[in-house]
Amino acid sequence: MSSEIPCLFIAVHAGAGSHAKANDHIYKSICKKACQQAMSLLQAKGSALEGVTAAVSVLENDEITNCGKGSSLTVQGTVECDACVMDGSSLLFGAVGALCGVANPVTIACRLVDEQKLGPLPYGRIRPSILVGRGAQDYCAEHGIEIHNNLVTGDAWNKFLHYSKKCRNSGKSLIASRKRKNDLSEESFSLESKELKECRSGPRDDSVQDTVGAICVDHDGNVAAASSSGGIWLKHSGRLGPCAIYGAGCWAQNQISETKPGVAAVTSGCGEHLMMTLLAKNSSDSIRSSDNIGQSLVAAFKDHFLESEFLKLYQEKFGAVLILRTLLSDSTREIELSWIHSTESMCLGYMAGKDKAPTVTMSRLEDWSKPGQSFSVGGHVIVGQT
């Protein structure tokens, strides 16, 4: 039994952005808890899909993260969540978008994958992989899932009032500026950029962007990935983020040969940037075809994100990837974990079956680095007998 333990692995992240150093211990604590919860399930022979769903549910349940209860609010002051899972064994994907009233949207995404495994509906109808808005909420009600009338926390409401006021004031300044500068002048754009940045600055030092996520390897070597997000502050109702887009928020594929290892990835950062570059899939494709996960991840992050032609209109590109590669060869399983981010910080944790406790860290850019243009990279390797 002990020889199997190292094959188990879970890694999570609590979002990428700018974490206040005073809150490091809070984010590390929730990552630790998520790893422990998932590892307990994996050690009880739970599947990789169950493991990532359990880990992300823990993150959703903590109000400090931007997912589930306590998420960022729309311009109407409501919570709309996105979540996704991908099962590396079946290659099935499930997601919900702009979902209201559900505290753990990742469990609905997981249910969609489980139902797809049952095959077509009567008369050959294809089961859905993605549900959004009212349709997603109706699906939850039909399946007996509790709908909460209010997932807005006091802290989120205070931020909503703060941001709304600043944006109203910024809007007045922008209109006046455009009238003076004929809309398209360089000075008008300069003022707009400054005003919008001020609008986004919050009442506390944390500015954590978008998605949380988890990646996993179970007893059978199966991999899975899951992500969840409350989206950006003051988003338009109905806005979909990377968690609702295939290939953007998460990716997972089992090993099929010694030259095609298993991979699982989750992303975080500016949702529009992640969606335009399909960062989860492109990162996975790159490390799957390389012998060096660190080098290939850096190359992929540069080619498909920081220097992507699809983001040429943006000077600053905010993104992060947490990714693993697993390879079984001659009865030895190697699991490599790596992460990279162009945001100021990224909180993550990971745990192998043999570990007594998770390892948690707050990865930060160097002081001289420029967020959105520079990046930080790290990694970890474990080897075990099957």
Which residues does 288 contact at the CB level (< 8 Å), separation at least 6?
253, 260, 261, 263, 325
Query: Rounded to an integer, what distance in angstroms lies between the CA atom of residue 191 and that of residue 183?
Result: 11
Per residue in 178-212, is it b (16+ CB within 10 Å) or e — as a string?
beebeeeeeebeebbeebeeebeebeeebbbbbbb
Query: Rounded to an integer, what distance in angstroms lies between the CA atom of residue 51 and that of residue 56?
Result: 9
Active site residues per annotation: 211
Q: Count other Cβ atoms within 10 Å, centred on residue 295.
A: 14
Structure tokens that stand for 255 in this block = 């090993």
Which residues does 17 contact at the CB level (< 8 Å), separation at least 6?
206, 207, 208, 209, 210, 269, 318, 343, 344, 345
Across 142-301, where does the E strand assignment appear? 207-209, 212-217, 223-229, 250-253, 262-269
* Continuous H helices in 185-278: 186-200, 271-277
Structure tokens that stand for 203 in this block = 């009442």
Across the chain, where does the E strand assignment appear? 9-18, 81-87, 93-99, 130-132, 207-209, 212-217, 223-229, 250-253, 262-269, 319-329, 332-341, 345-352, 359-364, 376-385
